[in-house]
């Protein structure tokens, strides 16, 4: 039995969906915009370098504040209250008072330093051990070191200080919190200043990218006119310029991260020497992953904003004659 073949049989045509077409166009446009930047290496590098420095300055300043706050967080002992008891208070009474204060909701812990322990420590640190051995009695009082709870505010700390000072067993209450609070207040002011400066620098990046895109639009004016003449919409013509802003912001953000990391690398050895002199574990904090991604996102966002404003403003002025 012969098999009949129909010459007019046509295989079904597989059509791409709208999303696939949209992605294909954007990928093609992005590669074309990247190629245009590569063909102008010097001009592109200068713009990317300006963007990188502009992003790196507030990032580095914020990192300095971050490290300063990290170091100040280790000054927990500076937030303690030192209660020097009357000389007439016995060690048993001091222990009972310590347990009573520790029951307060605004107190985290209480440490008792007896007069004997304080005298022994003073002998070791002062170097007058032999002279102090001739004392007939211990002149140092028992001391309670009170650690406030982490939930305390400035007002509650002042109230706690007043209540501890009014204790009949207390002779002197020493508080070392004021300078720490001033330091934190200064850091808050610096952080706000960094935010203001970063906002102004962000506006500068938008202006720089916008001016760059404007010049690019003027150089491609005839190409834009031809594209519009054959039916290209403003959105279609604007697309490559938006991708140019995207690449400027992305590469500027990456270079900014590289500059910040290089600065941290240069500071590692001086910080290690300083930590060795003070016999402490000082370590420089680097940018976290979220902070790094934020810098990249800010760079890309500013690039898109600057290119969109420039393209939207100047694209309307270019019409086929």
Assess whether 207 and 101 both reside in one domain: no
- The b-or-e profile of 31-43 (16+ CB within 10 A means b, else e) is eebbebbeeeeee
Average pLDDT for 73-88: 74
CATH number of the domain that residue 112 is part of: 3.30.70.3040
Residue 258 inside a domain? The answer is yes
Residue 290 inside a domain? The answer is yes
Residue 210 inside a domain? The answer is yes
7 pLDDT above the threshold of 50: no
HSE on the CB side for 93, CA within 13 Å? Answer: 13
Domain carrying residue 304: 26-74+182-315
217-258 pLDDT per residue, tens:
888 888 877 877 777 777 778 888 899 999 999 999 999 999
Residue 19 inside a domain? The answer is no
Assess whether 149 and 274 both reside in one domain: no
Assess whether 155 and 191 both reside in one domain: no
Domain count across the chain: 2
Residue 293 inside a domain? The answer is yes
108 pLDDT above the threshold of 80: yes
Assess whether 195 and 168 both reside in one domain: no
- Helix (H/G/I), strand (E/B), else coil: 117: helix
Residue of 33 and 282 predicted with greater confidence: 33
151-204 pLDDT per residue, tens:
777 678 788 888 888 888 888 888 766 666 677 788 888 889 999 999 999 999
Confidence of residue 9 (pLDDT cuts 50, 70, 90): very low
Sheet strand arrangement including 143-148: 107-113, 143-148, 81-85, 170-175
Assess whether 119 and 267 both reside in one domain: no
The span from the CA of 315 to the CA of 242, in Å, is 12
Of all residues in the chain, what percent carry a pLDDT higher than 70?
81
Q: What is the pTM of this model?
A: 0.65
* Cβ proximity of 108 and 76 under 8 Å: no
Say how many Å lie between the first and final Cα of the chain, rounded.
Answer: 68
In the prediction, which pLDDT does 299 show? 94
For the chain, the average pLDDT equals: 81
């Amino acid at each position: 039995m012969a098999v009949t073949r129909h010459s007019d049989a046509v295989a079904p045509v597989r059509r791409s969906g709208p999303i696939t077409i949209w992605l294909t166009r954007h990928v093609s446009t992005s590669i074309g915009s990247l190629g245009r930047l590569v063909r102008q290496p010097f001009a592109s590098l200068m713009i990317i370098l300006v963007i990188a420095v502009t992003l790196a300055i507030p990032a580095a300043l914020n990192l300095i504040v971050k490290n300063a706050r990290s170091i100040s967080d280790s000054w927990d002992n500076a937030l303690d209250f030192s209660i020097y008891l009357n000389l007439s208070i016995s060690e048993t009474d001091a222990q009972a008072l310590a347990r009573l204060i520790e029951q307060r909701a605004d107190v985290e812990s209480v440490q008792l330093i007896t007069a004997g322990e304080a005298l022994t420590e003073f002998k070791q640190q002062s170097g007058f051990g032999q002279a102090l051995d001739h004392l007939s009695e211990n002149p140092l009082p028992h001391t309670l070191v009170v650690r406030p709870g982490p939930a305390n505010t400035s007002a509650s700390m002042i109230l706690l200080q007043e209540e501890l000072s009014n204790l009949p067993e207390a002779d002197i209450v020493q508080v070392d919190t004021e300078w720490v609070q001033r330091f934190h207040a200064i850091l808050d002011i610096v952080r706000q200043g960094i935010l203001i400066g970063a906002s102004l620098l962000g506006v500068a990046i938008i202006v720089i990218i916008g001016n760059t895109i404007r010049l690019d639009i003027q150089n491609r004016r005839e190409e834009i006119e031809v594209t519009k003449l054959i039916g290209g919409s403003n959105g279609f013509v604007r697309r490559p310029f938006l991708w140019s802003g995207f690449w400027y912001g992305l590469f500027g953000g990456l270079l900014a991260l590289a500059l910040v990391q290089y600065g941290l690398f240069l500071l590692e050895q001086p910080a290690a020497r300083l930590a060795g002199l003070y016999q402490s574990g000082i370590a420089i904090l680097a940018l976290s992953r979220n902070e790094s991604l934020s810098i990249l996102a800010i760079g890309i966002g500013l690039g898109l904003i600057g290119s969109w404003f420039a393209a939207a403003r100047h694209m309307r002025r270019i019409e086929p004659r």
